[in-house]
A and B are shown apart, each in its own frame.
Chain A
Amino acid sequence: MYYDLVVIGGGPAGLAAAEEAKKNGAGSVLIIERNEELGGILNQCIHSGFGIHVFGEQLTGPEYAKRFIDRLSGTGIEVKTDTMVIGISPDKTVTAVNSAEGYLEIKAGAIILAMGCRERTRSSIAIPGERPSGIFTAGTAQKYINVEGYMVGKRVLILGSGDIGLIMARRLTLEGAKVLGVVEIMPYSNGLKRNIAQCLEDYGIPLYLSHTVTDIKGENGRLSRVTVSKVNGFEPIPGTEIEFEADTLLLSVGLVPENELSRSAGIEIDSRTNGATVNEEMMTSVPGIFACGNVLHVHDLVDFVTEEAQKAGKAAAEYLRENKDGVSGETIEIRNGANVGYTVPQKIDTGKIGKFAEVFFRVRSVLNNAEISVKAGEEILFSKKREQMLPAEMEKLIIPKKVLDAANGRTITVSAEEAEK
């Protein structure tokens, strides 16, 4: 079996990448999705708040997905659902399995990785205490409630104030549960401000900042009590314990890009993002293999996933057409400087960009009245002011090409610092 382009994952990233590749002339295109339907995580994100940038309106997750799924018809893009990719080799052979066709070996001219991410679990953050039932990751609980129609509990505590935790606090409240609080180890929330307002404040749900779970107790096999303590940094402070009689604990403690397949293809992984290292076209270290969406770095807004995926799709079509991975200008490496956790892309080929290059990054702490600067060595090439920057919000920096030309092949660093008072 041969396809010019194989897209792995049929979430918003895979859908937009496939469409854009086809539009730009890619021949045969196949999307492989392990679930029974396309749409990815959007199928369980039933709240509204998607699409404000791409469509100029607030859609629910399923509505956003539908727009892209509907656009596939008539394009000739093929889809295999219920099919799980189990390996990718560096020569771009994709192996997959499904119950109808069994074991499949598919040669691809180019591959786009769009596998999304998975949730961190209790074991990845080492919560002490007993191991009763009633402890779920927030996304799993979301799927039980929104897709399968099972309620997860009556008295619920949520650990982690990222958007998924906040959205689930409201959802559980609407379905009749008592949400006792959202507990966050950091001194600030990791979710969007509007979700604090519309998911917690609207329903009077308390947010415990600088607190974490320090003990878990069960009764007859089900969770019965959760102890929460104030922290100093990450250290619990004795004597500050609060006891909650809860039958359910949701963990919303982070997402990790799903990159086992990428590793098997020998793709270089950036330890800061846990995703592939890419250039301005979202091409990984293996020529002809591209990555986009949550598998590349964790996004909070689907609109940015779509835009990134379109870049990857267009570049894959170009790669297939020109069959070259040739560098056309100078390759400039981007490093993260002060207060910046990572950048995507990590490399830019100055010959491949138009007037601007887009760089996404996250800051490590809350910064007010800040300045973003792009430096080569000590030389400041470019700077930009921001009123406030939050770790919860991905930042987009548009760097003019002439700035990159001025770097003259040198490595550049992106940093963010508060202006001196």
Chain B
Amino acid sequence: MIKNITCICCPKGCLITLDTENPEATIKGNACAQGFDYALGELLHPMRTVSSTAKITGAIHPRIPVRTSGNIPKEMIFDVMAEINKISVESPVKCGDVLIENVLSTGVDIIACRDM
């Protein structure tokens, strides 16, 4: 089966096509190697980074931006969101601080995206 995949790895957004029978040999349309890996990943196991906000007290704003330190399985996005929504941190927090370690055993942390 021919499959179309839009690469999300950079703003160019290449439209990649492949044949699911023989993906590696048929990947086309990617302007760079990253697109190749992305397309294969989409076929085998789609992964995403999640960014959101978490509660913070004693800071300039009541929410601090956070994200996953790496990719998590796409089907776990809402579970990870639920974990982020459980926490409340106290100022001061530094950009890069780990707010949840190894979230849901994904091997990925939830980290702060700014000082606050």
Q: For chain A residues 18-60, which have a beta carbon within 8 Å of chain B?
A: 36-37, 46-49, 52, 58, 60
A202 vs B8: C-alpha distance in the bound complex, in angstroms?
Answer: 11
A330 interface residue, CB < 8 Å from B? Answer: no
**CB atoms of A174 and B55 under 8 A apart:** no
Query: Contact mask B1-24 → A, CB, 8 Å, 1/0?
Result: 000001111110101000000000
Question: Residue of B at shortest CB range from A143?
Answer: B61
**CB atoms of A52 and B65 under 8 A apart:** no
**CB atoms of A192 and B13 under 8 A apart:** yes
**CB atoms of A48 and B60 under 8 A apart:** no
**CB atoms of B67 and A149 under 8 A apart:** no
**CB atoms of B11 and A192 under 8 A apart:** yes
> Which one of B48, B51, B61, B63 contacts A202 once the chains associate, using CB atoms below 8 Å?
B48
Q: For chain B residues 86-116, which have a beta carbon within 8 Å of chain A?
A: 95, 113-115
CB distance from B111 to the nearest CB of A (A): 10
Specify which chain A residues have a CB less than 8 angstroms from the CB of B74 in the assembled complex: 202
Query: Contact mask B38-79 → A, CB, 8 Å, 1/0?
Result: 000000000011111101000011110101000000100110
> Which one of A49, A175, A197 contacts B11 once the chains associate, using CB atoms below 8 Å?
A49
**CB atoms of B48 and A194 under 8 A apart:** no
A134 vs B48: C-alpha distance in the bound complex, in angstroms?
Answer: 31
CB distance from A414 to the nearest CB of B (A): 22
Specify which chain A residues have a CB less than 8 angstroms from the CB of B114 in the assembled complex: 62-63, 65-66
**CB atoms of B52 and A46 under 8 A apart:** yes
A185 vs B48: C-alpha distance in the bound complex, in angstroms?
Answer: 30
Question: Residue of A at shortest CB range from B46?
Answer: A202
A192 vs B67: C-alpha distance in the bound complex, in angstroms?
Answer: 21
Specify which chain B residues have a CB less than 8 angstroms from the CB of A285 in the assembled complex: none
Interface size class of B (residues with CB under 8 A): 20 to 34
A226 vs B6: C-alpha distance in the bound complex, in angstroms?
Answer: 31
Contacts across chains A and B counted by CB atoms under 8 Å: 78
Contact status of A60 and B67, CB under 8 A, knowing A46-B113, A52-B11, A197-B13? yes
> Which one of A58, A149, A198, A393 contacts B53 once the chains associate, using CB atoms below 8 Å?
A149
Query: Contact mask A388-419 → B, CB, 8 Å, 1/0?
Result: 00000100000000000000000000000000
Question: Residue of B at shortest CB range from A145?
Answer: B53
> Which one of A61, A66, A196 contacts B95 once the chains associate, using CB atoms below 8 Å?
A66
**CB atoms of A174 and B52 under 8 A apart:** yes
Taking each of B53, B78, B81, B95, which has the highest tally of chain A beta carbons within 10 Å of its own beta carbon? B53
A193 interface residue, CB < 8 Å from B? Answer: yes
A126 vs B60: C-alpha distance in the bound complex, in angstroms?
Answer: 37
CB distance from B65 to the nearest CB of A (A): 4
A301 interface residue, CB < 8 Å from B? Answer: yes
A301 vs B63: C-alpha distance in the bound complex, in angstroms?
Answer: 25
A146 interface residue, CB < 8 Å from B? Answer: yes
Specify which chain A residues have a CB less than 8 angstroms from the CB of B53 in the assembled complex: 46, 145-146, 149
Question: Residue of A at shortest CB range from B115?
Answer: A66
**CB atoms of A174 and B81 under 8 A apart:** yes
A148 interface residue, CB < 8 Å from B? Answer: yes
Contact status of A198 and B8, CB under 8 A, knowing A37-B60, A149-B63, A174-B77? yes
Taking each of A46, A48, A61, A198, which has the highest tally of chain B beta carbons within 10 Å of its own beta carbon? A46
A350 vs B62: C-alpha distance in the bound complex, in angstroms?
Answer: 51
Q: 9 other contacts beyond A58-B9, A147-B63, A175-B81, with CB at 8 A cut-off?
A: A46-B51, A48-B67, A63-B114, A66-B95, A148-B62, A174-B52, A174-B77, A194-B9, A194-B11
**8 A-B interface contacts by CB (under 8 A):** A48-B51, A52-B11, A62-B95, A62-B114, A148-B62, A193-B15, A194-B6, A198-B8
Q: What are the nearest 3 A-B pairs in CB distance?
A: A193-B13, A197-B6, A46-B65
Q: Footprint of A on B, CB under 8 Å?
A: 6-11, 13, 15, 48-53, 55, 60-63, 65, 67, 74, 77-78, 81, 95, 113-115
